[in-house]
Amino acid sequence: MAPESEVQVAEALGQRTHPATGLIQGALWAVAGVAATASSIGSRDVIWSALAVPLGLVLGMGVGFLQWGFTRYVIDGTELRITSGVLSKNSRRIPYERLQSVDITEPLVARVFGLAELRIEMAGGDKSRTSLKFLKLSDAQELRSLLLLRAHGEDPQSLDALDHTGTVLAAVPSERIAIGTLLSLDFLFAVIGAVALVVIGVWFDRFLAILGGLIPTAFWLVQIVSKRVVAQWGFTLTRTSRGLRIERGLLSRTSQTVPFDRVQGIAVEEPFVWRFFGWMRLEVDVAGYAAQDDEGGESISTLLPISDPRLALQVIDELIPGNAFNTEPLAYAPRRSAWFAPVGWRYRALAVNDASLLTRAGWIQHTRNIVPHQKTQSVAISQGPLQRWLGLATLDVHTPKGPVDAEARNFYAAVVRREAFAQLDRAHAARQRTPVIPHDSETNTPLGGPR
């Protein structure tokens, strides 16, 4: 692959996606049709299920082919433009400096054909995600590299210098993911619940009666397994020049890049059973990911599904250098806060160092929330009547919507007051230290300016 041809491909006007798009869309619809009808396996629905396959295939192929025919994408010096729509035309412009992340997913059907979908994330509300489907995997990877380069304000002349590879930080063994899930509390609860239901059903000889409880439990189990095992299968974390790249998935593969400077916070979770083995899970806050999380239903914010502390700390250090992970807490929740949390109060602590703020909480599942000072969005103090009576208050350090929730609940009011304003100063100082790079203005639309 000569660099010129790559540039040529990328800079050409009015690119089309892969012609097989319609075919794959049809197949996806057929699968969806089967899934929709399969859940109601009544005898009368068998005909419908049988019809769903060819019907979904033909309809989906027709629609998909039409959509494909009307979809074009253009890459130029300033933006990516995608025009689509059969009846109503839709044109979307994506200025490079607004890019938050570019992900590649390969749904199973597309993967069979060696195709992939490119998902482009901009910070902002509901429709902040644009997807381009389907492209040849190599084209998608190339396009992603190009977009990420552009997002950092660099010229694609250096395209040949792009590293697709990077260094692998962690390849999480898949059996470990499976074992970790088997040992997580909600999975154990679901299994125990299912077994208990079956035992009750057999004991009282009322099997039909418990079916109403068994089916949701079974769904719950399937959901846990598909979200935590199938979706995280073959989890690989790679360091590239632009950020950390996550690749995961057994059936559908996903590849996402978390740019170093877009990390708003990290949550370190130690579920109950895992603690005995010293295992941890890392979740990450990236602006724009939360909205996607709701609709996608996948745990897209997972940074490491399961790991030992050493690796976890190494990854946290990559994203938040000099973090407060091992810093001695400066304050704990006082004994009298046991009125609010009889057991949990012992686990609440607040630590601060030069780079970040850390809060600890959680009795059954230990959670540490780490927020880099310069990413502090705002700080809040709150106090209810009972807290006032006990001389306690709650400190909240706000981060964008996501798994990170940094709060110090029911600490001494004086500590809360002092740390709230100290945190504002620390955040201010940290922002002064990290100069504002012009291209790094993502969502920071000039106030009052056009949106």
**Interaction of residue 451 with another protein, rule CB under 8 A:** yes
Site for another protein in 116-175 (CB under 8 A): 123
Nearest C-alpha neighbor of 261 from the set 415, 35, 442: 442
Least Å distance, CB 440 to another protein, is 4
Rounded Cα distance, 301 and 121, in Å: 14
At residue 267, φ and ψ (nearest 5 deg) are -110, 130
Rounded Cα distance, 370 and 366, in Å: 13
Site for another protein in 283-302 (CB under 8 A): 287
Nearest C-alpha neighbor of 350 from the set 329, 376, 328, 371: 329
Q: Which is nearer to another protein, 53 or 422 (CB)?
A: 422
**Interaction of residue 446 with another protein, rule CB under 8 A:** yes
Least Å distance, CB 31 to another protein, is 35
**Interaction of residue 379 with another protein, rule CB under 8 A:** yes
Beta-carbon contacts of 344 under 8 Å, excluding residues fewer than 6 positions away, are: 361, 362, 363
DSSP state of 166: -
The correct pick among 175, 295, 447, 450 for binding another protein (CB under 8 A) is 447
Least Å distance, CB 393 to another protein, is 6
Residue type for position 227: K
Least Å distance, CB 399 to another protein, is 6
Bridge partners (DSSP) listed for residue 162: none
Rounded Cα distance, 343 and 16, in Å: 60
**Interaction of residue 396 with another protein, rule CB under 8 A:** yes
Tokens of 25: 């869309």
Bridge partners (DSSP) listed for residue 164: none
C-beta of residue 82 within 8 angstroms of C-beta of residue 73: yes
Least Å distance, CB 6 to another protein, is 29
**Interaction of residue 444 with another protein, rule CB under 8 A:** yes
Tokens of 32: 């969806």
Site for another protein in 209-268 (CB under 8 A): 261-262, 264
* Binding-site string for another protein from residue 403 to residue 432, where x marks contact by CB under 8 A and - marks none: ----------xx-xx--xx--x--xx--x-
Least Å distance, CB 362 to another protein, is 19
The correct pick among 57, 147, 393, 408 for binding another protein (CB under 8 A) is 393
Least Å distance, CB 447 to another protein, is 4
**Interaction of residue 442 with another protein, rule CB under 8 A:** yes
Site for another protein in 355-374 (CB under 8 A): 374
The correct pick among 40, 78, 157, 441 for binding another protein (CB under 8 A) is 441
Q: Which is nearer to another protein, 164 or 433 (CB)?
A: 433
**Interaction of residue 14 with another protein, rule CB under 8 A:** no
**Interaction of residue 450 with another protein, rule CB under 8 A:** no
At residue 227, φ and ψ (nearest 5 deg) are -75, -40
**Under DSSP, is residue 57 helix (H, G, I), strand (E, B) or coil?**
helix
* Angle, CA of 322, 326 and 329, to the nearest 5°: 110
**Interaction of residue 384 with another protein, rule CB under 8 A:** yes
Report DSSP letters for 82-141, one per residue. EEE-SSS-EEEEEEGGGEEEEEEEE-HHHHHTTEEEEEEEESSSTT-EEEEEEEEHHHHH
Q: Which is nearer to another protein, 135 or 393 (CB)?
A: 393
**Interaction of residue 388 with another protein, rule CB under 8 A:** yes
Rounded Cα distance, 141 and 156, in Å: 14
**Interaction of residue 378 with another protein, rule CB under 8 A:** yes
**Under DSSP, is residue 261 helix (H, G, I), strand (E, B) or coil?**
helix
**Interaction of residue 436 with another protein, rule CB under 8 A:** yes
Tokens of 341: 């949390």
**Interaction of residue 46 with another protein, rule CB under 8 A:** no
Binding residues vs another protein (CB under 8 A)? 123, 261-262, 264, 287, 374, 376-385, 388, 391, 393, 396, 398-401, 413-414, 416-417, 420-421, 424, 427-428, 431, 434, 436-437, 440-448, 451
